[in-house]
Structure 1
């Protein structure tokens, strides 16, 4: 079985009209950081397409990725996105998916 880890993907955001800046955070399971960023981007694209079609934002699948906090009017800077394995309150990294 392929080991997967729980990732956090941080994507800088900017509001189109106000210029306000922030960070959109995605979480889910992936085999590595590049796959995590790709999964987060796919979840965002699905949420944006659903929103633009007047449909409900898709809920997370088994891999945990979604963009339930999608808000129109914000641009995401995907080239500046970073991915890391977050830690729990005690500093331990989340276990691989196949160890849970």
Structure 2
């Protein structure tokens, strides 16, 4: 893994990183504002990005849906068991006081 050149500091987009000896001040030029995109060019870019999407197949969607259902079932059983156990323990502790 490559070591970061400036750990803990992130350079701003569009600006150049400048260093100076301690105690000196450096003036950094303001970056130029970004060029505006026309609506036609924007929608063209949106369509180009839309063509890059890889949709899951019917089989992948089915398998993922079944896995979600199984995880929900396991979580609901777990929380039901924990809730029942805590309810029993609470009733037991309250019964000790009466």
- The TM-score with structure 1 as length reference comes to 0.26
Structure number with larger C-alpha Rg: 2
Q: Using CA pairs under 8 Å that are at least 6 residues apart, name the structure with larger relative contact order, 1 or 2.
A: 1
- Could you say which structure has the higher strand fraction? 1
- Could you say which structure has the higher helix fraction? 2
- The TM-score with structure 2 as length reference comes to 0.27
